[in-house]
Amino acid sequence: MKTTIIAPVLLAVCICVGGCVPKAESDVVVYAALDEEFSAPILAEFERSTDQETGVIAKYDIESTKTVGLVNQIIAEGDPPVCDLFWNNEVMHTIRLQKLGLLQPRKWAVQSGWPTDMIARDGSWCGFAARARVLLINTDLVAERTDYPTSVRDLVNPIWKERCAMARPLFGTTATHFAVLRERDGRSETLEFLKQIQNNALILSGNKQVALAVSSGQVAWGLTDTDDAIIEKDLGRPVAIVFPDQQPDQPGTLRIPNTVAVLKNAPHSVAANLLADHLVRAKTEDRLAMGDSSQLPLSRESEFTPRVLPSDPVRWMKVDFEAAAEDWEKWSAEVLALFP
């Protein structure tokens, strides 16, 4: 049996009216926060790998929902869920579902050497195909490589006052980044760091806007994600990408993975578990690495080096994402008070 991937609006309407979309036991309902252009071909590939015996019904991340919207919908739908598998493009809100007991612990079919900080301690989610938090430099405005900023801490260096940029740390990877720093450096220290950034850097609405501000010359450099940075580089803009904090006394570069999780009491758990294992394969990571967003494989069996990576090995920050997600609501309120 072959089913098709249904457009987001149609799926939402059908589910809301009580299941007018016929779903065989072999089907799997996926909520995908990764952009449709990247996730849909991989979901279609999974269908083909089962000889069309397992179909995918997908609800994608769109502008009106975004990741938080999909997570809130999963929470609202309750138990039993409508969604079988959640493919998130980040990790913090996946952990939010984990802490609510909405995810199914499982054993992940990953290769040896998979980073331990990329799998939930209870097995309820697994990270794969990451983005990195990088510095994007305008090489017209900062011509000498020796003058490039090299650390996230350079956001508070007075020589870059009003010449550097960062996204508001309330959503997405920037919010995750500072929750990680809060866990690593302490609450008061991180709040003070944020105050100093606010006084020194240009604060923009998102990482994409930071990358555009750098490539256009509005600012000399900014903190953004590899997927937004590589777009500007591929377009031939005068930019360079720096993976920050690589010195021995520095924490390393933060990478934030996609995550996949099977919902507890998923209506189509067999199909959901098959798809979960498909997503964390090295071949899936390689496909995302080859794409426009140049995502970073976690598997040692990956055969493709993303073009966004530098020639030298990168030191990655060791992270406890679950600890960073503790007390998320209170922390978010404190950050909001600084960035209203």
pLDDT in tens, 115-137: 999 999 999 999 999 999 999 99
Instruction: Report the 10 Å Cβ neighbour count for 157.
Output: 15
Interval 142-178: pLDDT, tens: 999 999 999 999 999 999 999 999 999 998 899 999 9
Q: Which amino acid is at 170?
A: L
> For residue 107, what pLDDT band results from cuts at 50, 70 and 90?
very high
Sign of the C-alpha dihedral computed for residues 64, 8, 19 and 49 taken in this order: negative
324, 302, 223, 37 alpha-carbon torsion, rounded to 10°: -100
CA nearest 127: which of 299, 330, 332, 336?
A: 299
- What integer pLDDT is reported at residue 52 of this predicted model? 82
Q: Which amino acid is at 328?
A: W
> For residue 20, what pLDDT band results from cuts at 50, 70 and 90?
very low
- What integer pLDDT is reported at residue 270 of this predicted model? 94
- What integer pLDDT is reported at residue 26 of this predicted model? 79
Interval 257-276: pLDDT, tens: 999 999 999 999 999 999 99
Do residues 72 and 85 make contact, with C-beta atoms less than 8 angstroms apart?
no
**Average pLDDT for residues 96-119, to the nearest whole number?**
95
Mean pLDDT across the chain:
91
Higher pLDDT, 308 or 12: 308
Work out the burial of residue 248: count CB atoms within 10 Å of its CB; fewer than 13 is exposed, 13-18 middle, 19 or more buried: exposed
Instruction: Report the 10 Å Cβ neighbour count for 13.
Output: 13
Residue 92 has pLDDT above 90, yes or no: yes
- What integer pLDDT is reported at residue 23 of this predicted model? 52
Residues ≥6 apart with Cβ < 8 Å to 199: 156
Give me the helices (H) in the chain, please: 8-16, 36-49, 66-77, 92-99, 172-185, 187-200, 207-215, 226-234, 269-279, 282-290, 321-324, 328-338
Token pair listed for 267: 């209506």
Do residues 137 and 149 make contact, with C-beta atoms less than 8 angstroms apart?
yes
Domain residue spans in the chain? 8-129+258-305, 131-254+328-338
> For residue 11, what pLDDT band results from cuts at 50, 70 and 90?
very low
Do residues 187 and 106 make contact, with C-beta atoms less than 8 angstroms apart?
no
Token pair listed for 72: 């809130």
Is 243 in a helix, a strand, or coil?
A: coil
Classify domain 131-254+328-338 by CATH architecture. 3-Layer(aba) Sandwich (3.40)
Do residues 67 and 89 make contact, with C-beta atoms less than 8 angstroms apart?
yes
Residue 12 has pLDDT above 60, yes or no: no
Strand (E) positions, 139-254? 164-167, 202-204, 221-225, 239-242
Residues ≥6 apart with Cβ < 8 Å to 326: 183
Domains 8-129+258-305 and 131-254+328-338 share a fold: yes
Q: What is the distance between the alpha carbons of residues 98 and 115, in angstroms, rounded to a whole number? A: 19
DSSP-derived secondary structure letter, 57: E
Q: What is the distance between the alpha carbons of residues 266 and 270, in angstroms, rounded to a whole number? A: 9
- What integer pLDDT is reported at residue 66 of this predicted model? 63
Interval 201-253: pLDDT, tens: 999 999 999 999 999 999 999 999 999 999 999 999 999 999 999 999 999 99
Residue 188 has pLDDT above 50, yes or no: yes
Is 296 in a helix, a strand, or coil?
A: strand
- What integer pLDDT is reported at residue 24 of this predicted model? 55
251, 254, 257, 261 alpha-carbon torsion, rounded to 10°: 50
CATH number of 8-129+258-305: 3.40.190.10
Residue 17 has pLDDT above 60, yes or no: no
Strand (E) positions, 190-282? 202-204, 221-225, 239-242, 255-262
Q: What is the distance between the alpha carbons of residues 157 and 302, in angstroms, rounded to a whole number? A: 38
- What integer pLDDT is reported at residue 5 of this predicted model? 43
**What size, in residues, is the chain?**
340
**Average pLDDT for residues 285-308, to the nearest whole number?**
96
Report angle CA 57, 62, 63 to the nearest 5 degrees: 170
Interval 22-77: pLDDT, tens: 455 679 999 999 999 999 999 999 999 988 888 999 998 765 456 788 999 999 99
